[in-house]
Amino acid sequence: MLIQAEQSGVRLDVFLSEQLENLSRSAAQKLLEAGAVTLDGKPMRKQDKTVAGAAYAVELPELKEISIEPKDLPLDIVYEDADVLVLNKPKGVVVHPAPGHWDDTLVNALMYHCRDSLSGINGELRPGIVHRIDKDTSGLLIVAKNDFAHQALAAQLQDHSLSRTYEAVVKGGFKEDEGTVDAPIGRHPADRKKMAVTEKNSRSAVTHWKVLERFGQYTLVECRLETGRTHQIRVHMAHIHHPILGDTVYGSPKPELGQDSQCLHAKTLTFRHPRTGEPVTVSCPRPAYLEALLEKLRRE
């Protein structure tokens, strides 16, 4: 892991947690304490700071088999074959097990539905899950049913050929009909649970937006992800002063129009089939809560 000039001077545990996906700061500290992070063969400490031009070696531990209980829970499957499954996730449903949600997640339901046909099923906390979607975001999620498909789809995420289009109700009106937000995203400097547009320890992030319908103080927009950073659309819309309605983390701290979580829906997925290479496009309708909100805004 080569340190760029702008990444210099950061505590190693902080740097690793920000650069390695799904690695918490506490997990980064454990790696450092175990001597798994070295510079020229010398083990580093968690309080050590990054140095520009240094190349750190990180030895990640082998994934351990974990026990996830399959549960016969409803799944809204919109596409499925021997390699890939695409489902429509309801708002409020957790994707993968975590404290407080060990047996009522989409992963539990997928374990039941797919049995032993999911990628990385013996070593992943999120078996089959190719990309993330927030608990309070509804819409399409792609699942790999074998390691071959997972690797192929992950490569498409990396080269941006897997396209994801969302719809969101945001605050305020737009003069333009469409535009692009090209602003790097990293951990918020003061609140580790949030993301932010920042130049420090960040990764490039690009969101293309287009106005679909105007409602005076609110606007329905389509957002197409070119990259897939954590909370990307929520952070980018807030950055251009159009936070998503109901987003109490990046927008107003109080619910508005009865919405206490972000009005964001993953509507369309386009990818190359990992087995055939043929393009596949899958869409799902807006959820009932979003349709009801739009009808209310049209009336008002």
For residue 33, the domain's CATH number is 3.10.290.10
Instruction: Burial-class residue 40 by CB neighbours within 10 Å (0-12, 13-18, 19+).
Output: exposed
For residue 89, the domain's CATH number is 3.30.2350.10
Active site residue 159: no
Structural domain that includes position 18:
5-58
Assigned domain for 281 exists: no
Instruction: Give the gyration radius of the chain's Cα atoms.
Output: 20
Domain termination site, one of 159, 192, 215: 159
Of the candidates 13, 83, 134, 247, the residue annotated as catalytic is 134
What is the Cα–Cα distance from 56 to 178, expressed in whole angstroms?
Answer: 42
Contact 143, 86 (CB under 8 A): yes
Assigned domain for 68 exists: no
Assigned domain for 64 exists: no
* pLDDT tens, N- to C-terminus, the chain (300 residues): 788 777 889 898 888 877 775 566 777 888 898 899 999 989 999 889 999 889 999 887 765 555 678 899 999 999 999 999 999 999 999 887 776 777 888 889 998 898 877 877 545 556 788 888 999 999 999 999 998 999 899 889 888 899 999 999 999 999 999 999 999 999 898 887 899 999 988 889 999 999 999 999 999 999 999 998 999 999 999 999 999 999 999 999 999 999 999 999 999 999 999 999 999 999 999 999 999 999 999 998
- Stated as kind and residue range, the H or E segment containing 236 is helix 232-239
How many domains does the structure of the chain reveal?
Answer: 3
β-partners of residue 213 are 220
Residues 223 and 261 both lie in one domain = yes
Q: What is the pTM of this model?
A: 0.77
Residues 40 and 19 both lie in one domain = yes
Assigned domain for 194 exists: yes
DSSP string covering 161-211, please?
A: -SEEEEEEEEES--SSSEEEEE--EEE-SS-TTSEEE-STTEE--EEEEEE
Assigned domain for 69 exists: no
Question: How far are the Cα atoms of 40, 135, 139, 169, 221 from residue 132, in angstroms, in the given order?
Answer: 35, 9, 11, 20, 21
Assigned domain for 295 exists: no
